[in-house]
Chains A and B, each alone.
Chain A
């Protein structure tokens, strides 16, 4: 089986995928929103992945407790569905994310990655189906106008549908209906799920008989996730309330009727995220502190490659086929 897929080796420790001011603004609005809608009466609940109740507190952010499941290793926030819904409907947050500044910044910083991704997508679709064109694709939750434009105009797709996105376009659909698609892009959505198995079953129903699911998410075994805990700027309520482990993802996909074709962790930013917060690492985290205080940028890039190659980055990419 494919052990690793390094999407590319063009890693730089100083890279960022978002403007600092925008990032802080998104963070500020999210915190304000979470504190406003937070239901303090919520009680601990089992892991959304494996339903185990054996867990330890991993960190707490903005009054929301994150637990790490002792059975499957997933990380999850104690919250309710209506809190996630209210968070997603926050007009201030929506307004920022729809703004031209936000979209322009994402476009400028991510355009090369998006183009690389589409070439890779075309290659993988051909690899597993032998098809190069005329495909239908359902895109879940994509919130970047530039990325939507690139996918919707790509030669390989005869039809493109956008579902559950904050962006309203001519491709938007309000319901997935009964139509079946050759490919589904399901990026990061699982991170807001309290019932991932249900979501995977729904995805399977929307695929053609040999349709492919392209899945991306953060995973709980990733280097920055486990090292930074609550210091991680990229994990916050209710944007991420479920960070599954690689193992539970495999198990849930199989249970939902998917054949996993490949699993890789081509993430490029674990080391970057830890590097940014290196001075705040726990004082007993001796090796990590030593490495980040003394290693050259080249060594840190090499370390990121090691994480990618050995499935230890926190960004996971899965291709699965409907069985």
Chain B
């Protein structure tokens, strides 16, 4: 198996997850770990360690750079890595704003022999894979609308987290978490033509970023989606309903390392207008439950195959990133001009 020489920039939670996925995969040689906080590197003395990202790229000379850094550094690191002829995988969001994303797109187009992938990791969750297969197989007909809720519980230190400092993060709960569901809406329905929204601070009045986004999207084909991205759910919650011409899909819960979003399952049924189930208004449902999150491994395998075998990227391309950031840009620009 060809080994890809890789570095990770940013050894917080995501950096550690990616490191584990590399070890699990076996096709990566870790040639550098970088974090400006030495404590984050204290358990990794068997790898070359760096505190400054440029130095890490220049000295380690990797084939690929994994960017797990704070949002405001992402575009700089991605562009520099591409200019140094490295393949790049970057966590979401793809920069703080659309300007950052477009800058990365320019850099990628100048270095298009190299792979650039973003971590829209939810596409690799089992329930999402099953939902996509149901839609692509046309088992339930064409999807016509989607309702999505992605919510966080918050915590005592929530107001002071870097995620709520727009200088570092670029945005609030929508950019941090709602972006995953936006990506899924695009994944299931295609590109969005119109956006209506309300961006608010309904409870956390003193933070500079929003605590709630209600958004309604419409495709050029007339499909509709709604999203409530919230950090005032007061518990972790992931729910998505997909209504199709001939049936329905419910995605509830999503497996994470903390298991705090509940059991991941998908339920679907076909419309039953003749009540063949014998129960009026209750079609026969099928439910699938999952007990293992393989998303990190599948995502890493796709990146490996793109770099080592030249396979085209299916998910998390710069074009996915640009389209989703265009939506976020439109939503944030409507702040103050709410629904």
Contacts and interface: CB of A to CB of B under 8 A. Distances in A.
Contacts of A126: 133, 136-137, 139
A122 B133 CA distance: 11
A123 B289 contact: no
Contact of A8 (B130, B134, B137, B285): B285
B288 interface: yes
Given A6-B287, A8-B286, A10-B277, 4 more contacts: A1-B290, A119-B139, A122-B137, A127-B133
A10 B133 contact: no
A309 interface: yes
Interface in B266-300: 276-279, 284-292, 294
25 contacts: A1-B126, A1-B290, A1-B294, A2-B126, A2-B290, A4-B287, A4-B288, A4-B289, A5-B287, A8-B284, A8-B285, A9-B284, A9-B287, A10-B278, A10-B279, A10-B284, A112-B276, A119-B139, A120-B286, A123-B133, A123-B134, A123-B137, A123-B139, A126-B137, A132-B137
B292 A1 contact: yes
Interface string A115-132: 010011011001100001
Interface residues of A, number: 20
The 5 closest A-B pairs by CB, nearest first: A3-B291, A126-B137, A8-B284, A127-B133, A3-B289
Which among A4, A5, A9 has the highest number of chain B CB atoms within 10 Å? Answer: A9
Contacts, number: 55
A126 B288 CA distance: 16
A135 to B, nearest CB: 13
A184 B210 CA distance: 54
Interface residues of B, number: 22
Nearest to B287: A6
A129 to B, nearest CB: 11
Nearest to B277: A10
A309 B139 CA distance: 23
Interface of A is mostly: mixed
Contacts of B291: 1, 3
A7 interface: yes
Interface string A9-38: 110000000000000000000000000000
Interface string A168-184: 00000000000000000
Contacts of A10: 277-279, 284
Nearest to A125: B137
A2 B288 contact: yes
Contacts of B285: 6, 8-9
A7 B267 CA distance: 10
Contacts of A4: 287-289
Interface in A119-171: 119-120, 122-123, 126-127, 132
Given A2-B126, A3-B289, A3-B291, A122 B139 contact: yes
Contacts of A8: 284-286
A304 to B, nearest CB: 14
